[in-house]
Amino acid sequence: MFFLGVLIHGILLRRVAASVTPTDGQWAQLNQTIGGRLYTSLPLAASCFSTVNGLPSTPNATECTLVQQGYTQPDFRFAHYSAHMMPQWETCQSTVQRCLLNSNDPSDPAAWEDNECWQGAIAPYYIDVRSEDDVLEAISFINETGVQFSIKASGHDYKGRSSFGSLSLWMRNLDSLSYSANFTPEGGNATYPAITVGAGTPFEDVYSFAEENNITVIGGYHQTIAASGGWVQAGGHSILSPIYGLGVDRVLQYKIVTLDGVSRTVNEFQDPDLFWALRGGAASTFGVVLESSMLVEPQMSLRVASISFNQTADNARGFLELLVNNSYKWGQEGWGGHMGPATLINVNPLLTLEEAQASVQPIVDYALAQNGTAVVEDLPSWQTFFAKYVESAEASVGVQTILGSRLIPTDPFFTDDDGKEALVDLMVKMVDTYAVNPYIIQGTPFLYNYTEGTTSVTPAWRSSLWQIGFHENMAYNATLDTMYAQYEIVNNITSWMRELAPNSGAYFNEANPYEPDHEVAFWGDNYPALLELKNKYDPFKLLDCWMCVGWQGPADERYSCYLNISSNY
């Protein structure tokens, strides 16, 4: 089964011929070495069904009711290993084997009366990781057995990268938080105000902690994204990024266990090549991150503009034109935010309230003329903004959702009349053709003073003003044909965006899961160097994920649950 063993750092590294299922004895041994925290998994809603994985099962009404109540709640999903925010990644899409409830009405009994429950893509074994030693033991086991494994923090991934293989490392309970006004990266002298965040800590905890410490952490627009997981390793945009940079710009240090079983503290002084790779090369590629330390800002007050009105066939274009025409000026003034054809929630830490009101007056007038609502106000901190606006506006979970997106270059789409018109036309076409609304994020590092070469994300981030994304929701019981048809819509819209700006790129975390030419789209010129580092730090390719650096490709058996969607990989 195995050949070629190499002894490095005390761990026998082996090149594995094919994927391997460990024996019961090996699993039992692993369980013992990690203090009994190896578990077998079942799908989140298994307790509702009378047939589970092909065998008769007795439903548990109490547990099933709890699952129904929490089904679309981020915190509930976050707390359960088997749950992912986009439940199609719990399923085997290619065989339509799943165990889902109706996300429109989780108490709908048709979900469990008309269907069987299947394991889908959820790894059958998982380790509830509580310490660095757990990760070291896991890596040693993976090296010995060659078992295919994945890493899960929050399950927010839009590409299913945290749910496959036979073994999963569940990082959720590695949830530490500390703040130092004088943090010094190991090996350096300079000090920075920084927080250090464990691999499983969600942003909602980070923001509360920041509020208690009178600081601001630049982070994501959802309560349960893991701050030190996929977000900070692949880019990490925030609506404060226009001024303060992306997550990868602000990270000062990672602690990581690489696939050779070595625990490393990585920063600009120690393993600088790996530090660069982790600043954008994406998660689940170079090792298991235990924590990251990120630069923080003092607590800051924010000017907030919140606008909405009822969208009609007649009023969306006018609003989109206003957004496109004003966004360059707003970018220069320091605004960031989330916008759509009839909504906007933007923040600004630089302007006074009066300046902010004047800045957004054209869209306030437009919304009020549509009998909509418009508020421009001052809030004392990010946490107060987040609690008031984001928790009710953030993207929903528990619904099978496909995401597509591309980065939209500043020039010519916000600087030239023809460019602006082409951009508005594209967004109107999305709405008119597929009734799909653009989800616009002004979260690129537009004003941020970037030091060239310090991160490995696609350089397109630095020359773009917007990311345009969109959501396509699939019913919990969608047929295979319907799923293919819905992915086709996503492919069509992203191809329009690609035609509009062929030399731009896409944010790895939020791109179409079937983005063609993904190496260029996600990393641009940085890809060759990233691939070299992948080969250096994971020579036996123990860690792999969909469209990640060094990806083994769609034919690898790990990806048998993905759909066979044509692309040019």
Ligand X SMILES: Cc1cc2nc3c(=O)[nH]c(=O)nc-3n(C[C@H](O)[C@H](O)[C@H](O)COP(=O)(O)OP(=O)(O)OC[C@H]3O[C@@H](n4cnc5c(N)ncnc54)[C@H](O)[C@@H]3O)c2cc1C
Positions that interact with ligand X (CB under 6 A)? 85, 150-158, 161-162, 171, 199, 220-222, 225-226, 229-231, 235-237, 283-284, 288-289, 395, 397, 509-510, 545
- Taking the least distance from each CB to ligand X, the nearer of 73 and 357 is 73
Q: Which residue has the tokens 């009839």?
A: 342
Q: How far apart are CA 460 and CA 524, in angstroms?
A: 8
- Taking the least distance from each CB to ligand X, the nearer of 90 and 510 is 510
- Taking the least distance from each CB to ligand X, the nearer of 145 and 150 is 150
Order of strands, edge to edge, in the sheet holding 167-170? 38-40, 125-128, 167-170, 149-152
- Taking the least distance from each CB to ligand X, the nearer of 137 and 510 is 510
Q: How far is the CB of 244 from ligand X (least distance, A)?
A: 13
Q: What is the DSSP letter of 116?
A: -
Q: Identify whether the C-beta of residue 337 lies closer than 8 Å to the C-beta of residue 237.
A: no
Q: Identify whether the C-beta of residue 456 lies closer than 8 Å to the C-beta of residue 277.
A: yes
> In this structure, what token pair is assigned to residue 142?
């993976």
Q: Identify whether the C-beta of residue 233 lies closer than 8 Å to the C-beta of residue 251.
A: no
Q: How far apart are CA 408 and CA 427, in angstroms?
A: 12
Q: Identify whether the C-beta of residue 537 lies closer than 8 Å to the C-beta of residue 258.
A: yes
> In this structure, what token pair is assigned to residue 435?
């009734």
Q: Is 399 left (phi over 0), alpha (psi -120 to 50) or beta?
A: beta
- Taking the least distance from each CB to ligand X, the nearer of 225 and 402 is 225
**Measured between alpha carbons, how far is residue 365 from residues 184, 304, 424, 478, 558 in Å?**
49, 16, 20, 42, 53
The b/e string for 365-400 (b: 16+ C-beta within 10 A; e otherwise) is ebbeebebebebeebebbbebbbebbeeebbebbbb
- Taking the least distance from each CB to ligand X, the nearer of 49 and 537 is 537
Length of the chain in residues, anyone? 569
- Taking the least distance from each CB to ligand X, the nearer of 309 and 389 is 389
Q: How far is the CB of 134 from ligand X (least distance, A)?
A: 12
Q: How far is the CB of 372 from ligand X (least distance, A)?
A: 24
CA 465 to chain centre: 20
- Taking the least distance from each CB to ligand X, the nearer of 222 and 518 is 222
**Measured between alpha carbons, how far is residue 509 from residues 283, 398, 467 in Å?**
10, 18, 12
Q: How far is the CB of 384 from ligand X (least distance, A)?
A: 18
Q: How far is the CB of 545 from ligand X (least distance, A)?
A: 5
- Taking the least distance from each CB to ligand X, the nearer of 161 and 279 is 161
Q: How far is the CB of 397 from ligand X (least distance, A)?
A: 6
- Going by their DSSP bridges, the two strands 177-183 and 263-266 should be labelled as unpaired
- Going by their DSSP bridges, the two strands 336-340 and 439-442 should be labelled as antiparallel
Q: How far is the CB of 468 from ligand X (least distance, A)?
A: 14
- Taking the least distance from each CB to ligand X, the nearer of 331 and 398 is 398
Q: How far is the CB of 537 from ligand X (least distance, A)?
A: 12
CA-based R_g, the chain, Å: 23
| β-strand partners of 473 | 401
User: Considering only CA atoms, which of 358, 383, 54 is closest in space to residue 212?
Assistant: 383
Q: How far is the CB of 510 from ligand X (least distance, A)?
A: 5
Q: How far is the CB of 317 from ligand X (least distance, A)?
A: 27
Q: How far is the CB of 85 from ligand X (least distance, A)?
A: 5
Q: SS3 of 407, please? A: strand
- Taking the least distance from each CB to ligand X, the nearer of 220 and 349 is 220
> How buried is 131 (Cβ within 10 angstroms: 0-12 exposed, 13-18 middle, 19+ buried)?
middle
Q: What is the DSSP letter of 239?
A: T
Q: How far is the CB of 438 from ligand X (least distance, A)?
A: 16
Q: How far apart are CA 275 and CA 388, in angstroms?
A: 36
Q: Which residue has the tokens 């008309």?
A: 114
Q: Is 286 left (phi over 0), alpha (psi -120 to 50) or beta?
A: alpha
- Taking the least distance from each CB to ligand X, the nearer of 222 and 279 is 222
- Taking the least distance from each CB to ligand X, the nearer of 262 and 353 is 262
Q: How far is the CB of 272 from ligand X (least distance, A)?
A: 19
